[in-house]
């Protein structure tokens, strides 16, 4: 008689979607966790191999790696359904969106607002099965120490993430430097400590609000600390026109000339890029965060994601601070490219699920630790328990159901780093009711300040 292996958590009899290199789907399979690691993935309930402290029968459920969000703005959640929108002159294009909404908001944000945004955003992520994210915040009047307040909220909920400050020189050159320095401070504090679930990165707003010197500074600091870099790239035509007028180059061409691009760079949006720029992205190894729902909301267009994937560019799904439910974002990604290109063959369910899991892990350079269910990897696992499915869910249909049937409310259990964060739809790490009440009070005060502010200010320094 042999000795069974130890497991702190054993999930058995589930439909296991591994997202490993072979994209194995195991019907009636198990995932075993010991400490913060996955120690077994296979067929059956696993009880013949493991002696578990806690066993979960996942019959009728899908077991898969936690989703990873390629790009978000927690503070975007603070304006959801705000009455302030009815008080401003409606923007007619992307640049007016920035001027009248986001740049009017960000100058009012405080450390408490940042904490509230990270708290409600992290809760929203957990409740829809996202276990890791890359966030950036723009708060030019509250730069110093702001990432620590956000980190506190994320740690209270218990998920994994990357926090960054959006360095911009739209108001002054010095302000952009301060933004990069805040990122550097947070990177130094967190990134070398393997016990910390929250890490830092360097974030620049966009090339039309950033000087050449700040690009170079950001790249040097990122290389010094082996940190990720990210920037909004060609979301709107203003980015393209500004760079052509000032530099005679399109944004991605300018970034290449400055030596900014590389495998450590995540380009967000890339809506307006031409074929030459896509070749640059491929050649440099940069990756792309795609935000389909935000692109629709801001009416900026649709990036050539199917072409990027065909070229071998790594693309991941983000939400840009709009709708945090990954299922809605996957569904939008699946559909928008079909209608935009008048071609129903574009995008498969598998491609879309890859863009919300293993692709993003590769973008974050954590694919050896996260993004799939494999022995030795970190135990970030979710269990989806759909209330209703119109057709059978099995190894042949599960990707189709993930994209076309399920939603965030079907997520039953969330485990991050081997720790239960949510079970039976109930958050275990915080008092959700008290947290939401605190966030609502903070948001009401922010909305009052917005309503008092009146007309938006055009604080934009053309570089």
Which of left, alpha, beta for 199 (phi over 0: left; psi -120 to 50: alpha)? Answer: beta
285 backbone dihedrals φ, ψ, rounded to 5°: 80, 10
Helix (H, G, I), strand (E, B) or coil at 5: strand
CA distance 258 to 280: 13
Closest residue by Cα to residue 161 from 228, 214, 108: 228
Break the chain into its structural domains and give their ranges: 5-60+373-427, 67-363
Distances (CA, A) of 78 to 120, 232, 298, 417, 452: 9, 20, 17, 28, 17
Identical fold for domains 5-60+373-427 and 67-363, yes or no, is: no
Query: CA 192 from chain center: how many Å?
Result: 22
- 424 class by beta-carbon count within 10 Å (0-12 exposed, 13-18 middle, 19+ buried): exposed
CA distance 370 to 18: 11
CATH 3.40.640.10 fits domain 67-363: no
What pTM was computed for the model? Answer: 0.97
Architecture of domain 5-60+373-427: Roll (2.30)
CA distance 127 to 107: 30
CA distance 331 to 325: 10
Per-residue pLDDT of the chain (463 residues; tens, 9 = 90+): 578 999 999 999 999 999 999 999 999 999 999 999 999 999 999 999 999 999 999 999 999 999 999 999 999 999 999 998 888 889 999 999 999 999 999 999 999 999 999 999 999 999 999 999 999 999 999 999 999 999 999 999 999 999 999 999 999 999 999 999 999 999 999 999 999 999 999 999 999 999 999 999 999 999 999 999 999 999 999 999 999 999 999 999 999 999 999 999 999 999 999 999 999 999 999 999 999 999 999 999 999 999 999 999 999 999 999 999 999 999 999 999 999 999 999 999 999 999 999 999 999 999 999 999 999 999 999 999 999 999 999 999 999 999 999 999 999 999 999 999 999 999 999 999 999 999 999 999 999 999 888 656 666 655 6
CA distance 250 to 258: 12
If you ran DSSP here, which 8-state letter would residue 93 be given? S
């Amino acid at each position: 008689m042999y000795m069974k292996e130890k497991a702190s958590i054993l999930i058995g009899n589930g439909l296991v979607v591994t997202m490993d290199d072979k994209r194995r789907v195991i019907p009636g399979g198990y995932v075993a966790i010991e400490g913060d690691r996955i120690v077994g993935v296979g067929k059956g309930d696993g009880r013949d191999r493991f002696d578990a402290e806690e066993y979960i029968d996942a019959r009728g459920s899908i077991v898969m790696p936690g989703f990873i969000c390629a790009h978000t703005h927690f503070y975007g959640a603070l304006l959801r359904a705000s009455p302030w929108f009815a008080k401003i002159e409606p923007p007619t294009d992307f640049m007016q969106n920035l001027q009248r909404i986001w740049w009017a908001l960000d100058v009012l944000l405080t450390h408490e607002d940042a904490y509230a945004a990270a708290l409600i955003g992290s809760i929203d992520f957990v409740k829809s099965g996202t276990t890791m994210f890359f966030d950036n915040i723009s708060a030019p009047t509250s730069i110093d120490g702001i990432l620590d307040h956000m980190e506190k909220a994320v740690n209270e909920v218990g998920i994994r993430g990357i926090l960054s400050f959006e360095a911009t020189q739209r108001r002054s050159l010095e302000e952009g430097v301060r933004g990069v320095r805040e990122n550097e401070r947070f990177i130094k504090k967190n990134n070398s400590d393997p016990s910390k679930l929250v890490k830092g990165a360097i974030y620049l707003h966009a090339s039309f609000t950033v000087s050449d010197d700040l690009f170079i500074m950001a790249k040097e600091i990122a290389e010094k600390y082996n940190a990720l870099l990210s920037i909004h790239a060609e979301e709107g035509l203003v980015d393209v026109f500004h760079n052509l007028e000032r530099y005679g180059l399109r944004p991605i061409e300018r970034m290449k000339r400055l030596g900014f691009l590389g495998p450590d760079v995540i380009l967000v949006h890339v809506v307006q890029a031409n074929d030459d720029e896509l070749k640059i992205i491929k050649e440099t190894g940069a990756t792309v965060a795609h935000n389909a729902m935000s692109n629709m909301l801001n009416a900026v267009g649709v990036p050539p994601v199917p072409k990027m994937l065909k070229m071998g560019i790594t693309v991941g799904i983000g939400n840009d601070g709009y709708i945090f439910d990954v299922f809605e974002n996957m569904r939008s990604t699946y559909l928008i490219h079909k209608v935009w290109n008048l071609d129903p063959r574009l995008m498969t369910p598998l491609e879309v699920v890859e863009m919300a899991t293993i692709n993003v892990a590769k973008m974050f350079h954590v694919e050896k630790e996260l993004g799939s269910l494999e022995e030795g990897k970190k135990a970030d696992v979710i269990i989806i328990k759909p209330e209703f499915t119109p057709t059978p869910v099995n190894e042949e249909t599960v990707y189709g159901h993930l994209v076309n049937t399920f939603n965030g409310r079907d997520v039953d259990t969330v485990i991050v780093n081997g720790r239960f964060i949510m079970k039976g739809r109930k958050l275990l790490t915080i008092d959700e009711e008290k947290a939401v009440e605190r966030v609502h009070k903070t948001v009401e005060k922010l909305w009052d300040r917005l309503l008092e502010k009146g007309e938006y200010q055009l604080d934009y320094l053309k570089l």
